[in-house]
Amino acid sequence: MQNGTLLVFIGLYLLGTLAIGWWASRRVKTTADFVVAGKKLPLFMASCALFATWFGSETVMGASSEFAQHGLLGVIEDPFGASLCLLLVGLLIARPLYNLNLFTFNDFFRIRFNRAAEVTSAVFMVPSYFSWIAAQLVALAIILQAICGLDREWGVLLCTSMVLIYTYIGGMWSVTITDFVQTIAIVIGLLALAIDMLWQVGGPAKVVAAAPEGFFQFFPEGKPVEMIHWLAAWMTIGLGSIPQQDVFQRVMAAKSERTSILACYTSSLMYLSIAFLPLIIAFCGRMLYPELVESDAQMMIPAMVLQHGSIGMQILFFGALLSAILSTCSGAMLAPATVVGENLVRPMFKSLTDEQLLRIMRWSVVAVAIVTGAMALMRNNIYELVGESSALSLVSLFTPLIAGLYWRRASATGAIVSMISGMGVWLLTLVLLPEEPAEDASIWLHIPPMLYGFAAGIAGMAVGSWWRPNRTTDAVASDM
């Protein structure tokens, strides 16, 4: 009976999400409406949209399990790195780029460098989203399977279709309005569960007392290898997600430059505080039901709520969890579709009208949904899928973006060499370096491949800009 009631509420919630997306779609008249919501978002909506960028399956299911098993040092990448990213976007990116009226990061590469740099960055950016979106679809399907026994394959198809429909019809307007509603559901659901769990274990003091020694240690011990991995964890999302299109679109959708900057700061604080709720829930769960950690750490919280929570708590929690994943997935699906339409297809057809470009972007959303849905059907490991996408933008796009903004001598050749060398070295070291080197192995074998790629990207920018400097001072660079 409880499962039936829960299923009814979840069905109503999903239908409500579609209804909100359809209502929001009535605001879409132009490409700017579809891509950046007409640059009309007030602070509270822009903040919720930015907060929802990554608050998905990895935060609620992945980071919480890491915290339950490894303490604070296990969650540096998320939520600390994600919060750092939003803060840095406000400090470094929002102000110089907002008034350029761009649709994509890749537009900046064209204006600051040239068409070749734009295409190269787009080719690297688009595939970086496929694994990430597939991971969210797999998580949604697993949740539906746990709740109602729906086959994972049918769950993937259902969830892909749903996200596709409201992203296709409403673009950024649908994404941001549903993000706002879903953020409210996330906060209410997770806060209610965290309070309930803390009450069951006897309060915060009992949680702190039950933690193993070093569980709340924030800095690693002084060993070089541990420091390297700690810094890499900060950089993966903290720096690597700065040049991501889903973040950029949300920043550009704010109604003013000041609003976009404040939204970055607000969402950074929201992310860091709200993301601690699933961490608290996971640790309380470890105290109350240690057998769930041993069976499947990622599914610990959903399994705990299903087995031991009241029907009211189940509705609140699964509403929050589905909200978190749907909001992440929709924005991630729109981002590469925008890049495909704006930076890869549009330049090939000089006489495209705005209406035709809007149609191309909508069909690009369909193409992204088909590719990512197929990936989700073929693979089911959320951690592996997320891991494949997390470092790609750091090694290929971060350095040319920051250099283009803040180094006047950065050239188009430097940007292209940086992207190719960073990506090439990262892929090469992924193949050549052992996944788990022996403790007494050379420190060079312990350095994550991502850091080798990052260093190669910096070197490529310096060498390429020295080899072929810009012939004239770029207008954008001079304005920075």
Collapsing DSSP to helix, strand or coil, 254 comes out as: strand
Rounded to 5°, angle at Cα 229 from 226 and 232: 150
Q: Are 453 and 431 in contact (CB under 8 A)?
A: no
Give pLDDT, residue 471. Answer: 58
Tokens of 167: 């992203």
Write out pLDDT tens, residues 26-57: 888 899 999 999 899 999 999 999 998 878 77
Least Cα distance to 322 among 11, 3, 1 occurs for 11
Tokens of 28: 């879409």
Tokens of 309: 């929570």
Distances, alpha carbon 360 to alpha carbons 133, 166, 428, in Å:
20, 16, 35
Write out pLDDT tens, residues 295-342: 777 778 888 888 878 888 888 888 888 887 887 888 889 999 999 999
Amino acid in position 384: E
Longest dimension (CA), the chain: 73
Write out pLDDT tens, residues 122-154: 999 998 898 889 888 988 888 888 888 888 899
Distance (Å, whole) CA 414 – CA 149:
53
Give pLDDT, residue 477. Answer: 47
Tokens of 294: 């041993």
Average pLDDT over residues 88-94: 95
Collapsing DSSP to helix, strand or coil, 435 comes out as: coil
Give pLDDT, residue 384. Answer: 60
Which residue bears the tokens 């190719």? 420
Q: Are 422 and 452 in contact (CB under 8 A)?
A: no
Would the pLDDT of 95 be above 60? yes
| Cross-strand bridge partners of residue 360 | none
Distance (Å, whole) CA 163 – CA 1:
28
Domains of the chain: 2-383 (1.20.1730.10), 391-480 (no CATH)
Length, in residues, of the chain: 480
- DSSP letters spanning 17-69: HHHHHHHHHTT--SHHHHHHGGG-B-HHHHHHHHHTTT-SHIIIIIIHHHHHH
pTM summary value = 0.91
